Amino acid sequence: MARRALVVLTAAVVLSSILRADEPKKRVSDFTLEDYKGEKHSLSDYKSSKAIVLMFIATQCPISNSYNERMVELYKDYSSKGVTFVGINSNKQESAEEVQNHSKEHGFKFVVLKDWNNVVADTLEASVTPEIYVLNSQREVLYHGRIDDSSRENRVTSKDLRAALDRILAGKTVEVTETKAFGCSIKRIK
């Protein structure tokens, strides 16, 4: 009796772990936003990318700004490997002109899209800047959370976004799929 119960329990544990592994990933609906030049960009434009990194960023948030150089480095290290980087500005008070000036000033080579009315932030439930979503070409979320674990670069002990991208590029499953992003709240329209 006890043995049977143990077998059933073991089977249940094994089954639940299989189910977890096969759990469908959150899929993001395609969206189109304009960059600061008024050019339209859709998620479906990046079908051939090995990974799409959506970065909710801000022009005025000190925490987001503390990551400007790190974002430039990430772009430099991974864009040549087939990773697409897309900045998204969902803050209602930051204009397209401000976004453009900010991008130029900090040498961003990736597009920064203006999410008027924070539609995309709402869809993804993004709440702070900086906050990252890494998608595959089927627009499934493979990683969500922070870039790393400290706004002060010399205190970083866990480079979570890089770790996720390295796993994806190596054809492996991302180990840590969810971390907590810390930064300024996205200022939404009411």
Partner 1 sequence: MLNQTNQVVAKASSLIVVLLAVFFGAACRGTNDRGGQAEKVRAESPAKAGFSVEPIDQAGLKRLIGERSGKVLLLNIWATWCEPCIAEFPDLKKLSQTYDTAAVEVVAISADYPDEVDTKIMPFLRKTDVPFRVFVAQFEHPEDFINAVNRSWSGALPASLIYDSRGKERFFHVGQQSFDDFKREINKVKGGL
**Is 114 a binder of partner 1 (CB under 8 A)?**
no
Of 144 and 167, nearer to partner 1 (C-beta) is 144
**Which token pair is 38?**
């008024």
**Is 99 a binder of partner 1 (CB under 8 A)?**
no
Residue 141 CB contacts under 8 Å (≥ 6 apart), including other chains = 25, 26, 27, 28, 133, 134, 135, 177
**Is 59 a binder of partner 1 (CB under 8 A)?**
no
**Is 177 a binder of partner 1 (CB under 8 A)?**
no
Helix (H, G, I), strand (E, B), or coil: what is residue 153?
Answer: helix
Of 35 and 131, nearer to partner 1 (C-beta) is 131
Among 20, 152, 172, 190, binds partner 1 (CB under 8 A): 152
Residue 110 CB contacts under 8 Å (≥ 6 apart), including other chains = 55, 71, 75, 79, 84, 85, 86, 87
The interface mask with partner 1, positions 120-149, x = CB under 8 A, is: -------xx-----------------x--x
Among 25, 62, 82, 189, binds partner 1 (CB under 8 A): 62
Among 63, 72, 96, 163, binds partner 1 (CB under 8 A): 63
Q: What span, in angstroms and rounded, lies between the C-alpha atoms of 154 and 128?
A: 22
Q: Is 158 in contact with 148 (CB distance < 8 Å)?
A: yes
Q: Is 56 in contact with 125 (CB distance < 8 Å)?
A: no
* Binding positions for partner 1, rule: CB under 8 A: 61-63, 127-128, 146, 149-152, 155, 157-158, 179-185, 187
